[in-house]
């Protein structure tokens, strides 16, 4: 069974144990997706800027900035957004969350060209063939809804899969994804939140153990 190059866990916030995040990162190939929104920063799933700075500046790990709301609309329009220095110096990837079906991947790629950040856009159906950005299939949009089917990845293209993944179904999903993709990552948000809707590093660890096995066998 093919395994993802890494797993992105999205939604850590001020209530999340940073030490536990660091330990999981040492054990498995993972990336932390941190949500940015000008209207929701500091609320559940959207960490405060103080938390983000403390995390990324003191703990070098793999990070992806997930831009939402007015931030994503500004990037699509080629306009300046706040906190660019923070993102450019501490994040390897940026995901522009949008439901716009005609979002221009060329414009998004150009926006991050000088910083050498890998840009990500989402698709709801078949993967586009262009490589200006990395494509994440995500029909769920953070709602925790598993798709009825997954699109096949174009040959030799690095793509992502998201949508309703969690500890109880990720093993079955890997059997499917490993057969239709060669180079891929998976992303999950709602599936690693506990009964109180808090981001759970313990659930992240459960996912990693299903996908990669016990620590020591993953890297």
Q: Is residue 1 one of the residues assigned to a domain?
A: no
| CA within 13 Å, CB half, 113 | 9
DSSP assignments along 15-76, one per residue: TS-HHHHHHHHHHS-EEEEEEE-TTTTTSTTS--HHHHHHHHHHS---EEEEE-THHHHHHH
Q: Report pTM.
A: 0.95
* pLDDT per residue as tens digits for the range 195-206: 999 999 999 999
User: Do residues 6 and 185 touch, judged by C-beta distance below 8 A?
Assistant: yes
How far is it, in rounded angstroms, from Cα 17 to Cα 51? Answer: 11
Residue 188 has a pLDDT of 96
Instruction: Judge whether residue 25 has pLDDT over 50.
Output: yes
How far is it, in rounded angstroms, from Cα 99 to Cα 123? Answer: 9
Q: Is residue 137 one of the residues assigned to a domain?
A: yes
Q: How many domains does the chain have?
A: 1
* pLDDT per residue as tens digits for the range 114-130: 899 999 999 999 999 98
Q: Is residue 65 one of the residues assigned to a domain?
A: yes
Beta bridge partners of residue 45, listed in sequence order = none
Instruction: Judge whether residue 167 has pLDDT over 50.
Output: yes
Residue 120 has a pLDDT of 98
Q: Is residue 218 one of the residues assigned to a domain?
A: no
* pLDDT per residue as tens digits for the range 41-81: 999 899 999 999 999 999 999 999 999 999 999 999 999 99
Query: What CATH number is attached to the domain comprising 118?
Result: 3.20.20.70
Q: Is residue 83 one of the residues assigned to a domain?
A: yes
Structural domain boundaries, residue 27: 7-212
Largest CA distance in the chain: 45
Residue 219 has a pLDDT of 46
Q: Is residue 208 one of the residues assigned to a domain?
A: yes
How far is it, in rounded angstroms, from Cα 51 to Cα 125? Answer: 35
DSSP assignments along 152-188, one per residue: PPPTT--EEEESS--TTTHHHHHHHHHHH-SSEEEEE
């Amino acid at each position: 069974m093919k395994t993802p190059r890494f797993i992105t866990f999205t939604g850590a916030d001020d209530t999340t144990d940073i030490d536990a995040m660091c330990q999981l990162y040492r054990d498995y190939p993972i990336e932390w997706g941190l949500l940015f929104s000008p209207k929701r920063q500091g609320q559940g799933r959207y960490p405060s800027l103080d938390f983000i700075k403390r995390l990324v500046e003191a703990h070098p790990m793999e990070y992806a900035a997930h831009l939402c709301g007015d931030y994503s609309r500004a990037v699509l329009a080629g306009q300046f957004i706040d906190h660019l220095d923070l993102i450019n110096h501490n994040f390897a990837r940026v995901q522009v969350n949008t439901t716009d079906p005609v979002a221009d991947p060329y414009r998004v790629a150009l926006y991050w060209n000088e910083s050498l950040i890998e840009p990500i856009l989402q698709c709801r159906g078949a993967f586009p063939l262009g490589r200006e950005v990395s494509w994440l299939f995500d029909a769920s949009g953070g709602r925790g809804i598993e798709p009825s089917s997954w699109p096949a990845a174009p040959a030799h293209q690095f793509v992502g899969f998201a949508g309703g993944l969690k500890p109880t179904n990720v093993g079955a999903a890997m059997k499917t994804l490993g057969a239709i993709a060669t180079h891929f990552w998976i992303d999950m948000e709602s599936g690693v939140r506990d009964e109180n809707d808090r981001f759970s590093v313990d659930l992240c660890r459960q996912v990693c153990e299903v996908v990669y096995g016990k620590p020591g066998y993953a890297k």
